[in-house]
Amino acid sequence: MPAPTFFKMEKINKYYQMGEERAHILKDVDLSIEEGEYLSVLGPSGSGKSTLMNIIGCLDVATSGRYTLHGRLVDDMTEAELARLRSAEIGFVFQNSQLLPRLTAQKNVELPLIYAGVGPRERRRRARELLERVGLSDRMEHMPNQLSGGQQQRVAIARALAGNPTLLLADEPTGALDQKTGRQVMALFRELNDEGRTVIMITHDMNIAKNARRVVHIIDGELSEGGGTNDA
């Protein structure tokens, strides 16, 4: 038996009803990713990259086409099934780290595990382990407002990794950071990829996109391969 398809999009189309008009956001998008890849989706704002990210992240479903993630067909899933899939397969990193301000760094990392139903001890152990992994072993009990922007983003990355996801999905992960901290975060992504984690990064910034091993361009809803860059 062949290994299940890891990530495959076939002829994905997405339309949005905007008043009278029906906007065609994604046009026949085909995309295949192997396990362990590091991919950037590069495109200007309004190109449809956010919509693509939402579909990849199972926050939204395509109007037509087939999307298979880790051997499962996503297209016809209910909202609850999508939630379980996100919980099991996807770790999100957002532009603004999106930490809950009333929870400590450690509690923030535990959050996805709560919804996955992991017990308190195991949660705690995993959260501490991941915070150590991103270099914040001395910041576990800090509240988000006591952390710098870079540290907050690293907490967010630890949180994304908490559910041990198949796919790490980052949306402009350095958008809110200065250049130096942005580079540190990029280095962390590269390390995680070196450890075998599949990473997809959405960005409008060529300099950020070229940190990935493979770049695809999206313009006006159409996807094109941009070839590998900056191979390590």
- Work out whether the CA dihedral 130, 136, 140, 144 comes out positive or negative: negative
- Helix 79-89 to helix 105-115 angle (10° resolution) is 130
Stretch in the footprint of other proteins (CB under 8 A) among 33-41, 97-105, 126-134, 224-232: 97-105
Binding of other proteins at residue 166 (CB under 8 A)?
no
Residue at 193: amino acid letter: N
DSSP state string for 98-155: ---TTS-HHHHHHHHHHHTT--HHHHHHHHHHHHHHTT-TT-TT--GGGS-HHHHHHH
3-state secondary structure of 161: helix
Task: For residue 63, state whether it binds other proteins (rule: CB under 8 A).
Answer: no
Nearer to other proteins, 47 or 211 (CB): 47
Q: Which is nearer to other proteins, 83 or 219 (CB)?
A: 83
Can you spell out the DSSP letters for 37-100?
-EEEEE--TTSSHHHHHHHHTTSS--SEEEEEETTEE-TT--HHHHHHHHHHHEEEE-SS----
Mark the segment that binds other proteins (CB under 8 A) among 20-28, 33-41, 106-114, 128-136: 106-114
75 contributes a contact to other proteins by CB under 8 A? no
Q: Please, what is the minimum distance in Å from the beta carbon of residue 143 to other proteins?
A: 11
Report the distance separating Cα 160 and Cα 90, nearest Å.
Answer: 8
Minimum distance of other proteins from residue 228's CB (angstroms): 29
d(CA 56, CA 148): 29
Q: Say whether 156 sits in a helix, a strand or coil.
A: helix
Quick check: 116 binds other proteins (CB under 8 A)?
yes
In the complex with other proteins, which residue's Cβ is closer, 79 or 138? Answer: 79
Nearest distance in Å: CB 119, other proteins: 6
Q: What minimum distance in Å lies between the beta carbon of 128 and other proteins?
A: 17
Amino acid identity for residue 172 in this structure = E
Among 18, 80, 138, 180, binds other proteins (CB under 8 A): 80
Query: Looking at beta carbons only, is 155 or 215 nearer to other proteins?
Result: 155
d(CA 174, CA 155): 14
Residue from 163, 182, 221, 226 touching other proteins (CB under 8 A): that is 163
The verdict on 23 binding other proteins (CB under 8 A) reads no
Binder to other proteins among 102, 179, 227, 231 (CB under 8 A)?
102
| Residues forming the site for other proteins (CB under 8 A) | 54, 57, 59-60, 79-80, 83-84, 86-88, 92, 94, 96, 98, 100, 102-103, 111-112, 114-120, 159, 163
